[in-house]
Chains A and B, each alone.
Chain A
Amino acid sequence: MKAAERRELIAAAAPGAALAVLLLAGGLGFAATLEPAERAALAAMLETRGALLLLGWLVLALAFGTLARTAYRHWVTAPAQLVEHAGVLLGTDAERTIEAAGSAANRALAQTVNELVRQRAALRADIDARVREASRDVEQERNRLAALMAELTQSVVVCNLDGRILLYNQRARLQFRALSDAPTLAGGAELVGLGRSIYAVFDRQLVAHALESVQQRLQRGAAHPTAQFVTATRAGQLLRVQMTPVRAGSADDDSAGDAPLGGFVLMLDNITRDFADESARDRLLQALTEGSRASLGNLLAAVEMLDLPDVDAPARERFHGVIRDEVRAMSARIRELADHTARTMKTRWPLEDMLGADLVAAARRRIETLYGCRTAASEVDPALWLQVDSWSLLQALVGLAGRLVREYEVRVVELRLARAGERAQLDLVWTGQAMSTETVIGWETDAIEVGGERIALTVRDVIERHDGAFWFERERVRHAAFFRFLLPLAREGGALEAAQFVRSDSRPEFYDFDLFGASEPAREWAERTLAELAYTVFDTETTGLNPSEGDEILQIGATRIVAGKLRRHECFEQLVDPQRDIPAAGIPIHGIEPAMVAGQPTIDAVLPAFHAFARDTVLVAHNAAFDMRFLQLKQERTGVAFEQPVLDTLLLSAVVHPQQPSHRLEEIAERLGVAVIGRHTALGDAIVTAEIFLKLVPLLAAQGIVTLGQAREAAQQTYYARLGY
């Protein structure tokens, strides 16, 4: 029985009890004053009428009890209930109406509370709307920035003062890939990633020095101070880095000029190739000038000797020998320089890398729309990357096609693209009416006309921009003729860089400004909060369950959590050659066929790359003990030790929901509302695990488990942990 009900019962019973006491006390008092005979007479009277008396008392007790109870409800219970309801409303966000009850004052009070609750709800809705609007604006600005950064062709990395990366763009990612020790495995993702330290790439001293000189310039009052340094990376690449400071404080703050540094922007240029080219050219030029001066001196001397009247035949022959030698040497020097410049210098006009097939497709579209003539492109090498000024080249192609259509009524033109030694040959082919060679080659020097508009550019200009060649040729067998363009091919690497990318169609999230203020905590791992730590969440697919009995890793997949967010674009996914057979029983589960791992790197190469990827992060896995045993068994052979703390989502789930019978990945995912997509690939599982982990963190916090140390301790104490593996 609840206390309130008990009190109400007491209130109801009180009048009856009081009446009974009064009657008994009165009766006893009255009896005390009587003589024994009178007392006996009274007893006899009461004996016969006792039931009547009791009935009277009962009626009275009931009547007064009911009254007392109503009064109690009216003046005591109703206000108490009101207090209780109000307390609930105060403590929660619920919008409820309290029913008015009790006295008039109490009713009025209930009305007032209801009114206040309504007011509170309205206010809250208003605030929510404003917050939503504000965050939409912020989101929009961020998206704009992300878009801008993603499209930039320059490598940009933004760091906070601790050197932690808080923004990078696609180009930077590709550049870092070239710097990676394991480019094919980790793909540079072990170097560039949100929250990663830029000092893994650059010497801390070098960056500190640049920062210092930026700060000095700032103090001297420079408006846009920057610093530059060139550095060689471990992989032997030469980078030119430009540093621009980011000042703390908002943009509209007038005092921003004096604001302290909040971080810095790095713009990276890989100058390895330029530098090598320039050095080689310098060496050649120097050899040419100095060597030529000497040769000319020798030549002049010999020629002057030949002029002397008293030169005999043997001496004359010697002087001739000198002249021949020197001329030969000078020729050789010039040839060398010319070859080199032809190879490296190309042209001063900035050219871009472009897939040849794309250029052909663009030209076809324009020719068809502008001139309504049909086009074909059956012989186009789809793998050829060109280095072109695509706009002017398109004008040339389209302009020439236009003249063919206009002046010779050509109905179909074909575009052909093939490799020709160190260059590519792009042909504009047509059949039909014969035309004189002189006419057609004259087109090379006429201003190009496209769609009725003449531009200040000739085909020859366009060719010169490309350091290429252009001519007209006939194919008598096919009764065809063509214009041929010789064009430079993209340098190796350029095409590759541009070709690869990207994992998903969404715009990759390469920034997190929340990291700006995040300073490297000097605290131990165990004292840091789960919310602030960076994690590598991973999963492995294996040939079986017993690493000690020869089972091996087939695939490692991992993703990162930085600043409390899953970074899907910073992931690691690698098949591993297990150097043994794959039991058929496992194939339906992990889907990895023997043919898929043939030619893949072995664990000896993959583990160091994964280790670098997981640097400075806490490892998270579902049933981590299993995966860790596989990793640890390889420790001796690969020399790679994973010494960072490990968290297990299975154990953490058991901490949060101890009563649940199952802590399988799917069950937890369903319980926590995580969508499961692409399970049973290592990366798919790692992503699900990461999402589960992110949901577990606040649930753990609600239980007072906030730091890494607390989480590990709680996990150790679960039933599952005590089971052992």
Chain B
Amino acid sequence: MTRTVLIADDEPNIVVSLEFLMQREGYAVHIARDGTEALAAIRRERPDLVLLDVMMPGMNGFDICQAVRADAALAGTRIVMLTAKGRDTDVAKGTALGADAYVTKPFSTRELAETVRRLLGGSAA
């Protein structure tokens, strides 16, 4: 079964690379360009994993993370937070709110791919 990944980020320049990367890894990819759209997409598409940018218009990444974790129906969703905010307080907050990983920009695409692979339990195909 093909695993699905939702990319929630309002910066097209990073979405281009992330989409390409995730497709290359063999995942089905959905895109959301702001917070509200992202939460709707999660509820609709039930992705296995969300690449979630913290700073987005509408709901921010923390809010979405918390909303997902509060919803029992979405319990299996893996969340990787992506952010340019590298402060330790943000990391602590993201982890406390239930993010599975917290990756600060700039990041290596190879490492991100590995993190996603690990969270989804080995290579998907």
Chain A residues at the B interface, C-beta cutoff of 8 Å = 327, 331, 334-335, 338-339, 342, 420-423, 436-438, 441, 467-473, 484, 486
Using Cβ atoms and an 8 Å threshold, which residues of chain B touch A470? 93
CB distance from A295 to the nearest CB of B (A): 13
Using Cβ atoms and an 8 Å threshold, which residues of chain A touch B96? 471, 473, 484
Q: Which residue of B lies closest to A330 (CB)?
A: B106
Using Cβ atoms and an 8 Å threshold, which residues of chain A touch B90? 469
Using Cβ atoms and an 8 Å threshold, which residues of chain A touch B70? 436-437
Given contacts A327-B106, A331-B106, A484-B96, A469 and B66 within 8 Å (CB-CB)? no
Interface residues of B in 83-111 (CB under 8 A from A): 86-90, 92-93, 96-97, 104, 106
> Given A338-B86, A420-B92, 15 other A-B contacts at CB below 8 A?
A327-B106, A331-B106, A335-B86, A338-B87, A421-B88, A423-B88, A423-B89, A438-B67, A441-B63, A441-B66, A469-B90, A471-B66, A471-B93, A473-B96, A486-B89
- Bound CA span A437–B97, Å: 11
Main DSSP-derived SS at the B contact region: helix
- Bound CA span A472–B93, Å: 10
Instruction: Check if B62 is an interface residue, CB within 8 A of chain A.
Output: yes
Chain B residues at the A interface, C-beta cutoff of 8 Å = 62-63, 66-67, 70, 86-90, 92-93, 96-97, 104, 106
- Bound CA span A471–B106, Å: 25
Interface pairs (23), CB distance under 8 Å: A338-B87, A339-B86, A342-B86, A342-B87, A420-B92, A422-B88, A423-B89, A436-B70, A437-B66, A437-B67, A438-B63, A441-B63, A441-B66, A467-B87, A469-B93, A470-B93, A471-B62, A471-B66, A471-B93, A471-B97, A473-B96, A486-B89, A486-B92
- Bound CA span A342–B89, Å: 9
Q: Are A473 and B97 in contact (CB under 8 A)?
A: yes
Q: Are A486 and B66 in contact (CB under 8 A)?
A: no
Q: Which residue of A lies closest to B69 (CB)?
A: A437
- Bound CA span A427–B123, Å: 40
- Bound CA span A599–B87, Å: 42
CB distance from B36 to the nearest CB of A (A): 12
Using Cβ atoms and an 8 Å threshold, which residues of chain B touch A472? 66
- Bound CA span A339–B93, Å: 17
Q: Which residue of B lies closest to A472 (CB)?
A: B66
CB distance from A479 to the nearest CB of B (A): 15
Q: Are A468 and B89 in contact (CB under 8 A)?
A: yes
CB distance from A487 to the nearest CB of B (A): 9
- Bound CA span A441–B61, Å: 13
CB distance from B86 to the nearest CB of A (A): 5
- Bound CA span A422–B91, Å: 13
CB distance from B103 to the nearest CB of A (A): 13
Using Cβ atoms and an 8 Å threshold, which residues of chain A touch B92? 420-421, 423, 469, 486
Using Cβ atoms and an 8 Å threshold, which residues of chain A touch B86? 335, 338-339, 342
Using Cβ atoms and an 8 Å threshold, which residues of chain A touch B89? 423, 467-469, 486
- Bound CA span A665–B87, Å: 66
- Bound CA span A339–B88, Å: 9
Using Cβ atoms and an 8 Å threshold, which residues of chain B touch A438? 63, 67
- Bound CA span A471–B98, Å: 12
Q: Which residue of A lies closest to B86 (CB)?
A: A338
Q: Which residue of A lies closest to B106 (CB)?
A: A331
- Bound CA span A468–B63, Å: 17
Using Cβ atoms and an 8 Å threshold, which residues of chain B touch A436? 70
* Most central of B62, B67, B70, B92 by chain A CB within 10 Å: B92
CB distance from A286 to the nearest CB of B (A): 21
CB distance from B120 to the nearest CB of A (A): 26
- Bound CA span A520–B17, Å: 79
- Bound CA span A421–B95, Å: 14
CB distance from B57 to the nearest CB of A (A): 14
- Bound CA span A420–B89, Å: 10
Q: Which residue of B lies closest to A339 (CB)?
A: B86
* Most central of A421, A422, A441 by chain B CB within 10 Å: A441
- Bound CA span A375–B87, Å: 33
- Bound CA span A471–B67, Å: 12
- Bound CA span A48–B75, Å: 160
Using Cβ atoms and an 8 Å threshold, which residues of chain B touch A335? 86, 104
- Bound CA span A242–B87, Å: 37
- Bound CA span A338–B67, Å: 29
- Bound CA span A342–B62, Å: 20
- Bound CA span A325–B104, Å: 19
Using Cβ atoms and an 8 Å threshold, which residues of chain B touch A468? 89
CB distance from B13 to the nearest CB of A (A): 14
Q: Which residue of A lies closest to B104 (CB)?
A: A335
Using Cβ atoms and an 8 Å threshold, which residues of chain A touch B104? 335
Q: Which residue of A lies closest to B88 (CB)?
A: A342
CB distance from A313 to the nearest CB of B (A): 21
- Bound CA span A76–B67, Å: 119
- Bound CA span A422–B92, Å: 11
* Most central of A339, A437, A468 by chain B CB within 10 Å: A437
Using Cβ atoms and an 8 Å threshold, which residues of chain B touch A331? 106
Q: Which residue of A lies closest to B70 (CB)?
A: A437
Say which residue of A327, A334, A467, A486 sits within 8 Å of B93 (CB atoms). A486
Using Cβ atoms and an 8 Å threshold, which residues of chain A touch B88? 342, 421-423
